[in-house]
């Protein structure tokens, strides 16, 4: 029975497929998630936004102009609009202005065609998946492969969605409940940058929560603290009251390849938090020249980078190239 899954063994760092195997397939498609599973990912990561009828779908943001063929659909021409989301003005087409049935008529496109020309071969082939479909894929492939593949959803703009009457949390928890994955033992992590969103989720569910952290500024919901304050020992102790771990941008752990790491991993562990940095990918390779360059990843370079982070002590990591994550972990 595919729904009954045990939790993952926690004896090794987990490989989290960032938007699927997004280095090789258009992000947030079942093609991308499926390839990630083939490559050995432990978790697949859907970023989640809402449709007009309150269904969660996998997109990096609600603006779908650059990741779908919506601009080619004459019937939706009048849906193009400008709005302000989390303080940023944006123009385009937005998921909350489409029903799921309407979104289903669109097809995904590669976001970064210049960087990832090979991915454009898959343009037009995949629909926008619902969160329920992503969970179903993970459960079906877990049963087929005999190993647990979990989901690692991120709530995108939860404060904004709540403000327009489409809160993400009830739909998120309902989908997990429906799948039998709504417990602390389930192979699920829910991540968000927004503190209030995670605290609200904590009150509703025992599913493991991850506080995302960026190198500068503050959480987008106008949280009272800066990220800098959140990574002090006091800040981490506060995070530990509601979260299982943190998801920092990787330079917060290793600011420069030629320097010692920061104390973030050790401080987080001291607070009882796991650490899952993001994102290991071609375009922000973090190695000395000439081993890095825009859009390229020489053989073995990303694996070396990942192995170094594992040596520092991370408990998992997000990568656009899950097979490189698996290789990097094997070489650590
Ligand atoms: O969720 C970790 C990382 O994915 C956060 O950045 O923008 O890729 O969702 P983003
Ligand atoms: Ca994400």
Please, which pLDDT band fits residue 8 given cuts at 50, 70 and 90?
Answer: low
Cα(71) to ligand 2 centroid in Å equals 24
Is a pLDDT exceeding 50 seen at residue 290?
Answer: no
Rounded to 10 degrees, the C-alpha dihedral 33/35/38/39 comes to: -100
Mean pLDDT, residues 198-226 taken together: 91
Q: What's this model's pTM, rounded to 2 decimal places?
A: 0.94
pLDDT mean over 80-85: 97
Q: Is the dihedral of CA 86, 268, 309, 35 positive or negative?
A: negative
**φ, ψ dihedrals at 51, nearest 5°:** -85, 175
Question: Average pLDDT, stretch 291-301?
Answer: 57
**Residue 100, SS3 per DSSP:** helix
Task: Delimit the domains of the chain by residue range.
Answer: 14-62+128-331
The better pLDDT of the pair 267, 216 is held by 267
- pLDDT beyond 80 at 204: yes
Question: Which of 43, 153, 212 to mutate to test ligand 1, by most ligand atoms within 8 A of the CB atom?
Answer: 212
Per-residue pLDDT tens digits for 213-238: 999 889 887 666 899 999 999 999 99
Query: In terms of C-beta density within 10 A (0-12 exposed, 13-18 middle, 19 or more buried), how is residue 205 classed?
Result: buried
Name every protein residue with a CB atom under 6 angstroms from any ligand 1 atom: 18, 47, 60, 154, 191, 212, 247, 278-279, 318
- Region 52-81: what's the mean pLDDT? 98
Whole-number average pLDDT of the chain: 92
For domain 14-62+128-331, the CATH superfamily is: Phosphatidylinositol (PI) phosphodiesterase (3.20.20.190)
- Asked which of 148-162, 191-205, 287-301 is least confident by mean pLDDT, the reply is 287-301
- Residue 238 makes CB contacts below 8 A (sequence gap 6+) with 230
């Amino acid at each position: 029975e595919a729904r009954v899954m045990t939790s993952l063994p926690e004896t090794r760092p987990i490989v989290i497929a960032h938007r699927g195997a997004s280095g090789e397939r258009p992000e947030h498609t079942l093609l991308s998630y499926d390839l990630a599973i083939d490559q050995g990912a432990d978790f697949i990561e859907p970023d989640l936004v809402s449709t007009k009828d309150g269904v969660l779908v996998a997109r990096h943001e609600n603006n779908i102009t650059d990741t779908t063929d919506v601009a080619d659909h004459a019937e939706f021409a009048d849906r193009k609009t400008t709005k302000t989301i989390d303080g940023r003005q944006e123009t385009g087409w937005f998921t909350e202005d489409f029903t799921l049935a309407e979104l289903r008529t669109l097809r995904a496109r590669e976001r970064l065609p210049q960087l990832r020309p090979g991915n454009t071969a898959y343009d037009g082939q995949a629909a926008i998946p619902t969160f329920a479909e992503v969970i179903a894929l993970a459960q079906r492939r877990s049963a087929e492969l005999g190993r647990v593949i979990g989901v690692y959803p991120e709530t995108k703009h939860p404060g904004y969605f709540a403000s327009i009457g489409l809160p993400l949390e009830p739909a998120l928890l309902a989908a997990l409940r429906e799948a039998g994955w709504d417990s602390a033992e389930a192979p699920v992590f829910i991540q968000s940058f927004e503190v209030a969103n995670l605290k609200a989720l904590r009150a509703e569910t025992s599913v493991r929560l991850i506080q995302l952290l960026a190198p500068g500024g503050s959480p987008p919901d106008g949280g009272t603290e800066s990220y800098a304050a959140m990574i002090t020992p006091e800040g981490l102790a506060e995070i530990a009251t509601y979260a299982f771990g943190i998801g920092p941008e990787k330079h917060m752990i290793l600011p420069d390849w030629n320097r010692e790491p920061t104390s973030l991993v050790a401080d987080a562990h001291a607070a009882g938090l796991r650490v899952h940095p993001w994102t290991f990918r071609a375009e922000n390779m973090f190695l000395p020249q000439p081993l890095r360059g825009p859009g390229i990843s020489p053989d073995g370079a990303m694996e070396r980078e990942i192995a170094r982070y594992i040596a520092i002590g991370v408990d998992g990591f997000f990568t656009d190239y899950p097979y490189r994550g698996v290789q990097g972990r094997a070489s650590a």
